[in-house]
Amino acid sequence: MRLLRTRDQSVSYRSLRSFRLEVFIYEDTHPMKVRWTAQSLRFRITPTELALLEDGQTVEARLALPGGEWQACAVPRSGSTSLAMKDARLRVTLTSDDIAQLSVPTTEGIYFATDDVPAVRYLVEKDFPCIHPHAGEAGEAPTETFAAPAGFEERKAE
């Protein structure tokens, strides 16, 4: 596994078509957002979810579909950073160094790629407030977010 970069800027995917899967489940869990595009997977976490990862707990999202359930989880473990899929469960394993980097206030995310061909880029990013309001028809509940870093709104407008 190789670290692509860790930097204090968000990554733009405006040129790619994407599918956004936002999962809200039981009241006692947290709304981790999962989004994928062509060979790219993004996990967006809230401050509470980062605190859970720092505490050694798994953060997950579940989506009940006709005929089964799909799960995605971020798991803190020793060893190496990895991405795996088994039995409709997508799992990104994060090391203590990964979580420590995410805990730095100026870090917006951590970015990786598998060694497979074709490679899969996977990102774990802090969830920041949306610049634009969501349509009421989207039915999206308000979520906890990190405070936007300096220059965030200007970068989003580009």
Please, are residues 109 and 127 in contact by the beta-carbon 8 Å criterion?
Answer: no
Q: Does the reported pTM lie above 0.75?
A: no
Q: How confident is the model at residue 149 (pLDDT cuts 50, 70, 90)?
A: confident
Q: How confident is the model at residue 140 (pLDDT cuts 50, 70, 90)?
A: low
Cα separation, 61 vs 21, whole angstroms: 10
Q: How confident is the model at residue 60 (pLDDT cuts 50, 70, 90)?
A: very high
Cα separation, 44 vs 31, whole angstroms: 9
> What are the Cα distances from residue 10, in Å, to 43, 60, 134, 136?
13, 22, 20, 26
- Give first-to-last CA distance, the chain, whole Å: 31
Cα separation, 104 vs 108, whole angstroms: 9
Residue 133 has pLDDT above 80, yes or no: no
pLDDT at residue 19, rounded to an integer: 37
Residue 94, beta-bridge partner list: 76
Cα separation, 100 vs 96, whole angstroms: 6
Mean of the pLDDT values across residues 66-75?
92
pLDDT at residue 139, rounded to an integer: 66
Range with lowest mean pLDDT among 7-11, 16-20, 128-132: 7-11
Please, are residues 63 and 23 in contact by the beta-carbon 8 Å criterion?
Answer: yes
User: Can you list the pairs that 145-150 forms with residues at least 24 positions away whose Cβ atoms lie under 8 Å?
Assistant: 145/46, 145/47, 146/46, 146/47, 149/8, 149/106, 149/108
Cα separation, 78 vs 104, whole angstroms: 19
Mean of the pLDDT values across residues 139-155?
75
Q: How confident is the model at residue 119 (pLDDT cuts 50, 70, 90)?
A: very high
Residue 21 has pLDDT above 50, yes or no: no
